[in-house]
Amino acid sequence: MRRTGFATMTRMPITVTVGQTVVLDAQLQPATLQQEVIVQEGLPALEKEKTQQSDTITEERIENLPINERNFLNFSLLTPGVTDANGLVTFTLPQTTASGLSFLGQGGRFNSVTIDGVDNNDNAVGAVRSTMSQEAVREFQINRSNYSAEFGRASGGLINIVSKSGTNEWHGNIFAFMRDQALDARNPFAFGANGAKIDPPYSRQQAGFTLGGPLKKDRSFFFLSYEGLRQRESSFVTFLENNNVLQPTSSQKALITDLQAANQLDLRGERSLSSFDQRQRLVLNGVFSLPADVTVAPIFT
């Protein structure tokens, strides 16, 4: 910054993330014979202009932290107050998937997701539309509560995603992540006939590319990204491989035999059940005779 009568002031670059408000005060000193002021400072830890509780997942975290299925929205679980919303629901249709994030106990359908400020929600069922490849995300901001009036239409959390853009230089990458049953450990719960251990088929390929560059130097740019997921697996349920649990024990078999014999008794007479205790007798003239320590009133005469 220059002004006649004052010394030139140079301020080092400062990184400003999505949703961040930064106020920089410039104080020019009176000029001397030869003087240049260079200011180098970091951003304040406290943003007095912001009311919401928020965190920013930067590009460095997105690129270096491990994650399953490359669903970058799951990085939100690293911030305070955000938990997995799948434990709050018992049933949901696969066609109306939610964000899967619970902000301060709210359900996964009470959130709002925007991409570069554009709404990316399904207004009918509160679901989240497909976002973009993780390779195309520069950063995203997570607003948990107390957000200002510029945000809205959500009682849970707000996620604002910022996509990457092209530059004056050409850049891109190609990536692939693969899993196969030949490289994975066997599922310990997978059993076949007669309790034989099996390894069900499973394979997953997740690949894509990005490409960015200038359409007109210093004027307009483009950025393309593609990511595809192809997964083949066998859903298996193993049960009743050993049906011995359904077979009666020896004492139960004896009881069944005696009950079958009791059905053949002559109702005009009296017969003892040999397999029962000698104290247990069945009198079919109207009264059941049970062990001596059990008293039962007649139920018919």
User: What residues are paired with 283 via a beta bridge?
Assistant: 270
What CA dihedral angle connects 61, 67, 70 and 71, to 10 degrees? -80
Mean pLDDT of 201-216: 92
The amino acid at residue 201 is P
Select the more confidently predicted residue: 144 or 213.
Answer: 213
Instruction: Name the average pLDDT for the chain.
Output: 76
Distance of CA 79 to the CA centre of its chain: 14
The pLDDT of residue 213 is 94
What angle is formed at CA 271 by the lines to CA 265 and CA 275, rounded to 5 degrees? 95
At residue 273, does pLDDT exceed 60? no
Which sequence spans correspond to the domains of the chain?
1-50, 51-164, 165-245, 248-289
How many whole angstroms separate alpha carbon 197 and alpha carbon 200? Answer: 10
The pLDDT of residue 260 is 77
Q: Which of the four pLDDT bands, split at 50, 70 and 90, describes residue 45?
A: low
CATH architecture of 51-164: Beta Complex (2.170)
Select the more confidently predicted residue: 57 or 30.
Answer: 57
Mean pLDDT of 230-240: 73
C-alpha closest to that of 224 among 161, 139, 135: 135
Mean pLDDT of 223-236: 87
The pLDDT of residue 89 is 64
- Would you say 100 and 85 are in contact if contact means Cβ atoms under 8 Å apart? yes
Residue 48, token pair as written in the block: 């007095």
The pLDDT of residue 214 is 94
Distance (Å) of CA 218 to CA 75, 112, 167, 224: 34, 34, 8, 18
The amino acid at residue 289 is S
At residue 219, does pLDDT exceed 50? yes
Mean pLDDT of 10-36: 71
The pLDDT of residue 267 is 45
The pLDDT of residue 285 is 43
User: What residues are paired with 128 via a beta bridge?
Assistant: 121
How many whole angstroms separate alpha carbon 105 and alpha carbon 107? Answer: 7
The tens digit of pLDDT for each residue in 138-179 reads 999 998 888 777 777 788 888 999 999 999 999 999 999 988
How many whole angstroms separate alpha carbon 140 and alpha carbon 246? Answer: 56
Q: Which of the four pLDDT bands, split at 50, 70 and 90, describes residue 97?
A: low
How many whole angstroms separate alpha carbon 98 and alpha carbon 116? Answer: 20
Query: Percentage of the chain with pLDDT > 90?
Result: 17
The pLDDT of residue 275 is 44
Element (H, E) at 144: strand 137-145
Which SS3 state, helix, strand or coil, does residue 4 take? coil
Q: Which of the four pLDDT bands, split at 50, 70 and 90, describes residue 75?
A: very high
